[in-house]
Amino acid sequence: MNAGIQVLIFAVSPALALAIYFYRRDKYEKEPAEFLVRAFLRGILAALLALVIESVLIPMADYFKAVYVPNITPAILHFLKIFFISFLIAGLVEEWCKYREFRDVIYDNDNFNEPFDGILYAVMIALGFATLENLGYVIGAYFKLGVGNMAKIGIGRALFSVPGHCCFAVIMGYYFGKAKFARKERQRSIYRIKAFFYPVIAHGLFDFLIMIRTGWGVLLFFLLVIWSWDFAFRAIDEQVEESPFKNP
């Protein structure tokens, strides 16, 4: 098989499979395909913005180490550096970029007219983000490590990283859906805050537990994955059945 086709399969197929799954869960009022594609493309733009911001912030991890904590033990220093990268760079920056696209493009659009739409559009933004990110990892692995290792990285990201972005998006979209259809402005504000900070925390934990590379980290990582999918399935079922189009 041509190497370019292999790269595309590993980079794009996980997002495509998840997009089809979530689209099929939209039970009562299907969203227009062109607006779903627009959300996906906005996710790619969010990934580009995150890449620029992270390219500035990532070197700060070493700067922080050298300047502010020169006498700290290596173990604590390693912990702090991973925490900084996981929560403040990956979690905060990436989820803010996705949140910003949803807020500016989706939230006030007339197509967002039932609670589950929040999940569906947030997922489409996240899958656009994850697809571009995946392309970078898979192409980099191909040129640096060869086809065999590219496949290992592609499979690993297909099983965890892309679904991870998807689960963070379900959390974001769930609370955006709550905010959109809440009756009181105070409730709407609280739900919008949750739509931002809860995915940041989940994303930060996800990356932190992968990077810490300890036995307890692996255990907690898999518990987080199980919880994330359990939350996702329950949130989907709840908001699908809350559709105003269920009993027209």
Q: What CA–CA distance (Å, rounded) separates 176 from 93?
A: 19
* Residues 215-240 pLDDT 10s: 999 999 999 999 999 999 999 999 99
Domain ranges across the chain: 3-241
Query: 6-10, 92-96, 129-133, 181-185 — which is least confidently predicted?
Result: 6-10
DSSP per residue over 2-22, as a string?
-HHHHHHHHHHHHHHHHHHHH
29: left (phi over 0), alpha (psi -120 to 50) or beta: beta
- Stretch 95-111: mean pLDDT, rounded? 97
pTM equals 0.92
Query: What per-residue confidence (pLDDT) applies to 151?
Result: 75
More confident site: 64 or 60: 60
Summarize pLDDT for 177-203 with one digit per residue, the tens.
999 999 999 999 999 999 999 999 999
For residue 68, pLDDT over 60 is answered with no
Q: Which amino acid is at 243?
A: S
Closest by alpha carbon to 12, among 196, 225, 183, 154?
154
| Higher pLDDT among residues 158 and 167, named by residue | 167
